[in-house]
Structure 1
């Protein structure tokens, strides 16, 4: 099982950001046979987004997309759960659209960063974007320029470096990946395809020390496992004429793996620590995930001034199946076997159209509509000693329609830029369990937003933003079935969840188009505590609940690092304030805490062919819902060498050199008293070879936004 579940789903922080920085070479511009090559800064601050240019970064080589996210300013990783400081869980997009992959956290762990050109962090999205989520993280994949055929090959391998005695492991954990990308454009057609394979061995180790009444339960859980994953993308763009472009794209994901967890539980007297009993739980889980998505797109340009219409249609299927064989073994050797099978197919159909019309030279109007339908089937079968247990088996079917319309107006004059928008969304949802209707919702919501930018000087600009956002419950969060995690812990969903509503404000200053200073204020109501703890006898279970109001303040200060022409980089820090107020279990939870986060990245380039990068972060103790997480940090080192006239590059990375991305903390509230420690294979060494071939000036596939949005984002598979 995942560590998030073994932590009573108390979601400890496993790692927490920093950033990366490197200068990238932008596409060459040819003027009368003279090539002018510019450099992109690692960070670019635009009016509504922060752009992180990772292409060419030594630290990114051989990394996964998930590992790169851990190095973006303000992005937190709380045990497989991404958080943007003050914004909650972000929406993940790929090439301007919410990922077709439903188990997005696992997909990001398996997506190679080699194919990513840059990442956009949009903290206050406007009316054009779906209202769900507090922020948007958009991965822009690499695309090339001009006619011809080109491609790239990528090979990478990594291994962990651990003391087996102190980490309680029994083997080395390694991974290797291979990938290829090919693009061909001729005449009116552009064809592109990519494929990536990853084999990964991994582990999680957790310790929990619980006080329940007058007893103490100490649990250790070691979960080694492996998986093989395949990702692919293929598409064709047809440029019918200067005004019309038609595209079809298919992308998919397939993963299978095995996890072997061993849980040891020792019960003792809570005062004297005298041993009373002990038992073991063995959990062998075979997991299969598949995702196939098809997109059709038509773009029509009415003129050359930007008056255009985009229409998208998406269909995707996602299948998740887990088979867990669980054996509880008492100290006398008696075994109690059980089996848990989860089958979760998801079907999504989304239509979207957007229209953009310039108004004069200084204004622009954007309007659009969207409609999406989701069909979710959740089947849980449970057997005890080979006999079906209907009391623990469930069949939950969920149907949802989200309809939306928006309008946005942008106007610039003198040194000002103004943007305002309004979005309305209708949510229709029903849920049936065992043939009985247990969920029935139908409501409309309005989401205003505005942005004001003022140029204070040639190099300095100021920005004020506001947006209203919503965080709808995930599909499985509303599924009331019970999932057993170990002999003392289980979780279940809540069909009565309401959406979170947030009001988000931000003031920022940018210097030379770089982030410099910002302060944000965020207020949420009906906050969903994803893992609200409950104690029933010796059993602990968690369930999502609308429990609290949440107030967050973030003050950020960033600065460049420049020492001569060969040493560049940046540093930054954030002061973060979190305050939760909730009435739960007959008592009031009212807790607030400040934490300080520092991050840095420095690049040294002694020659054009060599580069060295040093990055890291440190955070003081922080508060996340009921969890108080202790301080932690990480330092990383990377070396990169270009070969063969820069057609190839070799990178060597050392991640988490001090093995300090270990999580520890506590949950203490009413009858719940838990202390925990958790770590996994964060320390590793990676070797990567990337080779490009063909015409590197080929015009690649269009970067376009397709119809699917938050529907896929909200399928949270455990």
Structure 2
């Protein structure tokens, strides 16, 4: 069974079962007021089973404080109502089929409420939440996320896909800005992959997906922003949680974490640690056809194995000087090492398909990533209407990499080529920002500043083995130094006008960079620089027809700057016949995005979008007469994207919740590589999630995703996807949980495709260790309450350092 058939069958099975089993019951409703008798909008209402506190239904109150829960069967329940700044209200409810008994009347939220002895509330957020301008994915709500890394979670998120090189796309388009707790890592390529693989799901809380971010965020990321939010313990006293997970595919995977927090009225001290140990493999098959200088073929099978071991730590102290002022300091640290080895036998064939020579390539790589950073912040509220925050950040990376290549060529004679490379790199970032907020009678005014100073120093020292001695290879050796300054100012305002709400902003960013490639015996020093400034307007207009329907329109301009390393003009060796090269003439690309959305309650969101990109950049694939393929990037032309997405979240039964997202995008790319090229393709992304509450602390999940063919100017990949199942059990008085899942159940998450070069074509097929059985245990202690501590630090420049 292929994946598309599986998803179709799963949909038909779940919907037909619901249709045959559902009975109509009257709704349960009420009205929520605060201590002053005013209605409370957007209060969170959870209906729980009285027996085991499992969540049955979730709703939000409207502007009049009213809420309604549909299709509630007779039984004994607990009604939980919570709202920021108020104490939780917990009310026992016994329902019959009597309609009159299904309205609980007026519920008052007080500043204090007594605990209900003997009751433990284990409310669970829905997997997907739709909010104005953003989609929220609650990571812990999916059982199949257990044992996964941040990269694997992104891969199965709505509208998100990851290609064979680890490049992340949103709704079929690349150049997504990835943040972690509103902060960038300034990494791309292998560096970003290493970071995301070091973040276990047990330390992550949410993904926040924004396709048209407001002016407060950096303008980087033409497709939008994905903000990965980590868990933060927010309980008084000493508390924390522990999570351990073990997975087995062809090889082992282990992701573990520990969080500790202590808080009193003056201090909040927090510390977290994560340990990741994974072994992986990649099977890659490539078949190249060369038309020039003569017709020939090259076939290669590659096995690439790797071991990853990483330690990640985070800690800090918050000090509450008064009710209006707080300050704090925090640190982050990452130590990650990856060892890899590869074996790639290949053969050359003539025009008749007869073998005339062969090659055996072996290689080994080691990469050590060291990262440390710190943040100092100050928050002050002048009044209930005015506040200001200031952040200073420091972030440093040190990469130490080594490569070793051994190529044995067999033809009329046999020759062996041995080479190695030492690749150290340093990256240091200083950043400062300030944000001011002024609350208005029916709106808000925001203004801010940010500056980021980036310094990189990359060395690639290659040598080859000759007559028993290692000799420098000056043609491949390179030393690249890059300095960048980005300064930004923004102003934004939001205002309510009856049923209308307008949020508009303007951001100015000025970029100034200098780059130098130091010379050696084969070339002279060379340098280049660039300065440019741009305005980036954003706007969102929302019209709320009633409590059921709302419409919104948004528009915004975005920028994508080339990754630092991709400006480096040196050649990086991947294997004997494949190289990667930077482009010092690489320019930014600019995108205008437009969206029109309709939302029906929290059940259905439909969005139509249009985007146009100028100076569009993409990977460029070149080849020469020696058979070497060169990967580079450049500004090729323009790209237009027309999209339609539909997201729904349903509760077909009290024990079952279902989420489904589909996006369809039609892309037209026009540009010049070796001649004028044009590519167009309609592509789709589907995500299906089923959550089942089985009672007595048991829960289950059935989920999957499917991506149709994806295309760039020179490359097209075939459809891919996966399905997953999982089951969980609450233990230890609901403070612990045991979870078991299988990801990529049918082992369908392969990647096949075709690449077109100037004088050659290549078919490739790639498989990884994606089918994994995971078992996990987690335990938490402490008593939750709302914390006022905010995220801080460097903001949105992730993804711009290429590690290879």
Fold similarity call, TM over 0.5:
yes
Name 2:184's counterpart in structure 1. 98
1:467 CA displacement: 0.6
1:466-505 alignment runs, 5 A limit: 466-505=555-594
Name 1:356's counterpart in structure 2. 437
8 Å CA contact 1:43, 1:515 repeated in 2: no
1:633 CA displacement: 2.0
Distance 1:630 1:147, change over 3 A: same
Cα distance in 2 for residues equivalent to 1:610 and 1:663: 35
Match of 1:592 among 680, 693, 697: 680
Deviations, residues 268-297 of structure 1 (Å, cap 9, x unaligned): 013x21001001111110111010011111
Partner of 1:59, secondary structure, is helix
Cα distance in 1 for residues equivalent to 2:512 and 2:131: 36
Cα distance in 1 for residues equivalent to 2:697 and 2:160: 31
Name 1:707's counterpart in structure 2. 794
Computing the radius of gyration from Cα coordinates, the structure with the larger value is 2
Name 1:326's counterpart in structure 2. 405
Cα distance in 1 for residues equivalent to 2:766 and 2:232: 39
1:690 CA displacement: 0.5
Partner of 1:334, secondary structure, is strand
Cα distance in 2 for residues equivalent to 1:514 and 1:425: 38
Name 1:201's counterpart in structure 2. 279
Name 1:427's counterpart in structure 2. 511
Cα distance in 1 for residues equivalent to 2:207 and 2:57: 14
1:54 aligns with 2:144: no
8 Å CA contact 1:26, 1:37 repeated in 2: no
Deviations, residues 240-289 of structure 1 (Å, cap 9, x unaligned): 1111110101001111121001111210013x210010011111101110
Cα distance in 2 for residues equivalent to 1:348 and 1:701: 28
8 Å CA contact 2:620, 2:673 repeated in 1: no
1:327-476 alignment runs, 5 A limit: 327-331=406-410, 334-359=415-440, 361-385=441-465, 386-434=470-518, 436-476=525-565
Cα distance in 1 for residues equivalent to 2:579 and 2:350: 23
Name 2:659's counterpart in structure 1. 570
Deviations, residues 525-576 of structure 1 (Å, cap 9, x unaligned): 1111134334343111121111121111111123334332112112232222
Cα distance in 1 for residues equivalent to 2:474 and 2:126: 59
8 Å CA contact 1:256, 1:288 repeated in 2: yes
Name 2:125's counterpart in structure 1. 40
8 Å CA contact 1:550, 1:580 repeated in 2: yes
Cα distance in 1 for residues equivalent to 2:234 and 2:240: 12
Match of 2:317 among 212, 224, 236: 236
Partner of 1:578, secondary structure, is strand
1:309 CA displacement: 0.6
**Pairs aligned (count):** 684
1:85 aligns with 2:85: no
Higher relative contact order (CA 8 A, sep 6+): 1
Cα distance in 1 for residues equivalent to 2:445 and 2:362: 59
8 Å CA contact 1:528, 1:548 repeated in 2: yes
Partner of 1:63, secondary structure, is coil
8 Å CA contact 2:453, 2:486 repeated in 1: yes
Match of 2:265 among 187, 202, 205: 187
Cα distance in 2 for residues equivalent to 1:57 and 1:542: 38
Cα distance in 2 for residues equivalent to 1:333 and 1:691: 60
1:37 CA displacement: 7.2
8 Å CA contact 1:260, 1:282 repeated in 2: yes
8 Å CA contact 1:615, 1:635 repeated in 2: yes
Partner of 1:392, secondary structure, is coil
Cα distance in 2 for residues equivalent to 1:141 and 1:294: 16
1:700 CA displacement: 5.8
1:150 aligns with 2:239: yes
8 Å CA contact 2:282, 2:769 repeated in 1: yes
Cα distance in 2 for residues equivalent to 1:374 and 1:22: 50
8 Å CA contact 2:344, 2:360 repeated in 1: yes
8 Å CA contact 1:87, 1:522 repeated in 2: no
Distance 1:243 1:285, change over 3 A: same
Distance 1:175 1:330, change over 3 A: same
- Runs of 4+ in structure 1 over 4 Å off: 21-28, 34-39, 698-701
Which has the higher mean CA deviation after the structures are superposed, 34-43 or 601-610? 34-43
Partner of 2:194, secondary structure, is helix
Distance 1:37 1:494, change over 3 A: same
Which blocks of at least 5 consecutive residues in structure 2 are unaligned?
1-6, 12-54, 59-79, 90-112, 520-524
Cα distance in 1 for residues equivalent to 2:174 and 2:663: 16
Deviations, residues 404-454 of structure 1 (Å, cap 9, x unaligned): 101001111211110111111111011111163432101111111100011
Deviations, residues 124-149 of structure 1 (Å, cap 9, x unaligned): 01111101112111122223444211
1:183 CA displacement: 0.5
1:153-302 alignment runs, 5 A limit: 153-160=242-249, 172-213=250-291, 214-270=295-351, 272-302=352-382
8 Å CA contact 1:49, 1:121 repeated in 2: yes
1:697 aligns with 2:799: no
Name 2:709's counterpart in structure 1. 621
Partner of 1:457, secondary structure, is coil
1:506 aligns with 2:506: no
- The RMSD of aligned alpha carbons is 2.2
Partner of 1:97, secondary structure, is coil
Distance 1:319 1:703, change over 3 A: same
